[in-house]
A and B are shown apart, each in its own frame.
Chain A
Amino acid sequence: SYDLTQPPSVSVAPGQTARITCGGNDIGTKNVHWYQHKPGQAPVLVVYDDSDRPSGIPERFSGSNSGDTATLTINRVAAGDEADYYCQVWESYSGVFGGGTKLTVL
């Protein structure tokens, strides 16, 4: 099976930049998607195909992917960005999620 590794938690002060990593063997050769999940709500796709944003997602959210690491970057972090974030790829005819990262806004 293909494993995706995320840090369990990331903390950042309001207005600063948060970077959430997703590690996997040669992940740079795959399309990586990122989801934001707030308690009690439906998960939301915030970045797809490494670096594209769905309509309605602020430009503050961006992504990159190279080598063994994909990164979700959130600029000018706000309190409303506090959530769990998951990376996802498609592997062996199934979706695979990372373990998730809890973003805390200090």
Chain B
Amino acid sequence: QVQLQESGPGLVKPSETLSLTCTVSGYSISSGYYWAWVRRPPGKGLEWIGSMFHTGGTYYNPSLKSRVTISIDTSKNQFSLQLSSVTAADTAVYYCAREGGNLLDSWGRGTRVTVSS
């Protein structure tokens, strides 16, 4: 059974870059599927950030596209999120997930990131 675990700093300063990593176990990233990031700001609903195929194809939320980079490290069975020029509006719980058929069939438990000086 695939398992996903997010990790990264819980506090990021405004204007800096948020960096998170998702470690996948129970499934090899290079075997297929897209690998996605989703976030949930406090008091709000889920927001799709983007996803990446192991061979490099990516889809990004148009509203975040200019600031988002998703990358994959198949040797570590990990994928990562970088979100640049963060503001308080980027404060959220960030989730990684496995995407297939344009749906998310397995998720991590999430990691809370606060943007504050």
Residues on A facing B (Cβ under 8 Å)? 1, 31, 33, 35, 37, 40-45, 48-49, 54, 84, 86, 88, 90, 92-100
Contact = CB atoms under 8 A, between A and B. Distances in A.
A97 B46 contact: yes
A71 to B, nearest CB: 17
A42 B95 contact: yes
A42 B100 CA distance: 17
Nearest to B50: A94
Interface stretch (B10-18, B56-64, B77-85): B56-64
Contacts, number: 70
9 contacts: A33-B102, A42-B107, A42-B108, A45-B103, A49-B103, A95-B51, A95-B104, A96-B48, A97-B38
Contacts of A88: 46, 48, 103-104
A86 B61 contact: no
Contacts of A40: 109
Contact of B62 (A1, A33, A54, A84): A1
Contact of B103 (A33, A41, A92, A94): A33
B73 interface: no
Contacts of B59: 93-94
B66 to A, nearest CB: 14
Interface in B22-80: 36, 38, 44-48, 50-51, 59-63
Q: Which of A42, A54, A86, A100 has the most CB of B within 10 A?
A: A42
B95 A97 contact: no
Contacts of B51: 95
Contacts of A98: 45
A97 B45 contact: yes
Nearest to A86: B46
Contacts of A95: 36, 38, 48, 51, 61, 99, 102, 104
Given A33-B103, A43-B46, A92 B109 contact: no
Given A41-B109, A42-B107, A54-B105, A100 B62 contact: no
